[in-house]
Chain A
């Protein structure tokens, strides 16, 4: 029997390939090609993730002398026709110019996501004494102030395929903001979850949104608010800190997720408490750690001999050098020089500040090292949580014009 072979196929078909292709091309239209945004995928991508959003302050709500909420609406004159959608728990990264400093700050969206349809976002700003951005915003922003923001960012969101259906929210101080948004999302049916919110503050007066959240809890069976007061005993409110005991008291029978948002000290305390609860790590989720300040407290940090180093920065073909302090993150040092750098989360996580360390040594605290593995191999760093240990040369991407 003959071996199978290709004889049944005509080799001459080969000579027909080019003419066939030419015929197809010849028969096609010579019209202009469709614009990218005529494709659904591209239009949706742009609606969800605009490069930046031009906003305008349309309302200010004063909670107390040190905390205000700002309602932000699209600035159509500057080309933002509508707001990008967000999921409860996401944040905006604001681009600010304060004096000679050019910087960004992430603020959780505190508003009901459904308000996007009305053209409203809300962020809530609490004064941090000596805090460059919070003091500037609280003192300078007025109705009509123009604001440049990123698209909504971050993954501190409820994910039904991952999280337990009941969330125990642990909020400290202004860490209430993403939970306010989540509570409304649940009440509006945007998220199908239950939220039991343990909200720590010094006194009831220090707690934000108390009245409206209490009302929301009365109207919405899937949301419960528990104010936990550290410095005040008050009938009907929990007294003390948010301990494992307190979590157990309010936890449901079945599995539950814990979402935490608050100051760094709160995470330290709460994480210790949560350890004793023996719940799977997948059920514990933290909001961004926040900006990191003090590398010298880390056990694996060894300070260089001099407090001052030279940072040489290359950006878009230009180079400049300046003196910087070893206890200031590289990102902050750049911003202090008025050098605009890409950054969003400022907590080591989002990777937007991804930069090449051309020369020199840096320190990144392990807990904040959100780099991709190959980054360390090839010398890339996240300047937002990196501290110089020597003179360095760094290549920084431009911000998007």
Chain B
């Protein structure tokens, strides 16, 4: 029947795309529904004048390369999605202001990084190396748990995987302190907390280790043509394998049968049915679009208990000068009022922490010759907007923030931005809310706080989401924030459905 599919995937964000590509490639009749007119959600791009801006991606983690492939490279390869990857080999430059401040640039690769850190604090290199070496212990424990289908032998765990148990259940800072990594070195490395949205005194040590390892060992990767290339390359896989994508097709309701099984959706006014539904949409929205009796008390309690993850103010600036003329040679620069992640988190709504990216330093021709772009990110809590802000004052509100950060950036980096601005566009949590429809404009989903961390989300996945016929994926799911996490959960959701409908994959 015309409106019957094997799988309907709701939302063509990173998770929805890899989920739909996985099911389409396995031969399942797949329909991907997206409210916007292009795929990707945040993984997109937009044009202003002669510039095409990257809206959200800072650097993809855990990609790898042809010679040294890792999770994401493999995922794209398996799907057959073609991406022209570019790599940043430094980790980042971080500037902490104030009297105990610093301005350091970290090199990539384990040796590169550890040598760098050794110069800053002699003796710290081997300790950081020991931290990175925990990754293989984590991997072998995870493999064991998977082999035991989530029910590992307790004795084996404690005898063989005690360090994994420690790293998974303690914060990144607790683990680093146990390894005697000096505070200053921790502060420098832990700058990456912002990619996971929760400071490292609370963020799972295992989660942070995965991120750090992914960047150090495999470099940070960027597509040639902004994230729009990533999304189109996966969309291409879906359609080439017989899948269908419908844009401008917002889902307004999830449909259930009498047993409470999810059997379809209403999109753009049309009823569409499938054997399985995959939602890249955050559970909050799905539950609000579902009849009350199908959502279990536990699921509702979980959703109510969770904190919303971060949103951002972002500035996209096209400049009529080269990075050299501007005086920026780094790709990523973190600028902080205070060196500790916890303080950065606490003051982020006031702008105590922001990120400057110059994509031309990784993808040279990402803007026309003689020009460059700056992408400035100010992380903040979701919904961080003045309660009384009126539409008529919105432009001034945005410009005031932008002016403040441009001035600070000029002063901190000793560069002159203002006179070169040829295009500027400013996004706020309202912009993210507009394009993503997430509560408060959170970019990914739920906060990875201490009790709702990576490992406990994975362990509880079956209890957390109980609606039959409905599988979740995306940045709000088990792996939390990040493009790579969303791709991975989408791929996992797709494989689960393929297994269910076709068996034995």
Q: Which residues of A contact B (CB under 8 A)?
A: 3-14, 16-18, 20-22, 24-36, 39-42, 44-49, 84-85, 87, 113-114, 116-117, 155, 159-162, 190, 280-282, 316-317, 342, 349, 351-352, 354, 356, 370-375, 377-378, 380, 397-401
Contacts and interface: CB of A to CB of B under 8 A. Distances in A.
10 contacts: A9-B170, A13-B165, A18-B456, A34-B439, A39-B440, A40-B430, A40-B440, A42-B430, A282-B422, A398-B249
A155 B392 CA distance: 16
Interface string B222-239: 011110110011011001
A113 B158 CA distance: 68
Given A29-B301, A47-B391, A41 B432 contact: yes
Interface stretch (B88-96, B350-358, B379-387, B473-481): B379-387
Interface in B169-186: 169-170, 174-175, 178-180
B167 A6 contact: yes
A40 B389 contact: yes
B394 A48 contact: yes
A24 B424 CA distance: 43
B505 interface: no
B41 to A, nearest CB: 15
Given A18-B459, A25-B298, A161-B406, A41 B311 contact: yes
A35 to B, nearest CB: 6
A17 B246 contact: no
A39 B439 contact: yes
Contacts of A281: 320, 422
Interface in B230-274: 232-233, 235-236, 239, 244, 246-250, 268-270
A7 B441 CA distance: 41
A30 B304 contact: yes
Interface stretch (B62-70, B187-195, B281-289): B281-289
A16 B127 CA distance: 28
B128 to A, nearest CB: 11
B239 A356 contact: yes
A28 B304 contact: yes
Given A27-B305, A40-B387, A397-B247, A13 B166 contact: yes
B84 to A, nearest CB: 9
B100 interface: no
B226 A6 contact: no
B38 A354 contact: yes
Contacts of B406: 161
Contacts of A48: 391, 394, 430, 434
A198 to B, nearest CB: 23
A161 B399 contact: yes
Nearest to B130: A4
A85 B394 contact: yes
Contacts of B37: 342, 351-352, 354, 397
A191 to B, nearest CB: 9
A25 B446 CA distance: 14
A31 to B, nearest CB: 7
A20 B457 CA distance: 12
B347 interface: no
Contacts of A380: 232
Contact of A25 (B225, B244, B302, B394): B302
A374 B54 CA distance: 12
Given A41-B430, A42-B441, A401-B269, A33 B288 contact: yes
Contact of A282 (B47, B305, B421): B421
Interface stretch (B14-22, B111-119, B324-332, B447-455): B447-455
A25 B301 CA distance: 6
Contacts of B305: 24-25, 27-28
Contact of B430 (A12, A17, A45): A45
A-B pairs, 8 with minimum CB distance = A28-B305, A14-B165, A85-B391, A282-B422, A45-B434, A11-B165, A374-B225, A41-B441
Nearest to A400: B248
Given A48-B391, A373-B225, A162 B422 contact: yes
A162 B424 contact: yes
Nearest to B268: A401
Contact of A28 (B168, B301, B437, B440): B301
A6 B382 CA distance: 35
A49 B431 CA distance: 10
Given A6-B167, A8-B178, A20-B456, 8 more contacts: A11-B162, A12-B165, A14-B166, A31-B300, A41-B430, A160-B399, A190-B392, A398-B249
Contacts of B304: 28-31, 33
Contact of B178 (A9, A14, A162, A398): A9
A26 B451 CA distance: 13
Interface residues of B, number: 98
A245 B438 CA distance: 53
Nearest to B459: A18
Contact of A17 (B169, B249, B392, B441): B169
A45 B431 contact: yes
B369 interface: no
Nearest to B432: A41
B441 A45 contact: yes
A113 B168 contact: no
Given A45-B431, A280-B320, A356-B239, A378 B169 contact: no
B268 A400 contact: yes
B2 A317 contact: yes
Interface in B131-178: 157-158, 162-163, 165-170, 174-175, 178
A316 B440 contact: no
B391 A4 contact: no
B383 A41 contact: yes
Nearest to A44: B430
A18 B236 CA distance: 40
B301 A40 contact: no
A363 B422 CA distance: 29
A13 B474 CA distance: 28
A1 to B, nearest CB: 11
B429 interface: yes
B1 to A, nearest CB: 12
B45 interface: yes
Contact of B320 (A18, A282, A317): A282
B71 interface: no
Nearest to B292: A32
A25 B75 CA distance: 33
B203 interface: no
A117 B239 CA distance: 46
A378 B178 contact: no
Contact of A42 (B226, B270, B423, B439): B439
Interface centre among A34, A44, A349, A380 (most CB of B within 10 A): A44
Contacts of B383: 39-41
B409 interface: no
B399 A20 contact: no
Contacts of A370: 47
A39 to B, nearest CB: 4
Contacts of B47: 349, 351, 370-372
B389 A44 contact: yes
Contacts of A21: 451-452, 456, 460
B462 interface: no
B402 interface: yes
B360 interface: no
Interface centre among A32, A155, A160, A374 (most CB of B within 10 A): A374
A41 to B, nearest CB: 4
A391 B233 CA distance: 25
Nearest to B287: A33
A377 B223 CA distance: 13
A86 to B, nearest CB: 9
Nearest to B370: A281
Given A161-B402, A161-B406, A397-B248, A372 B45 contact: yes
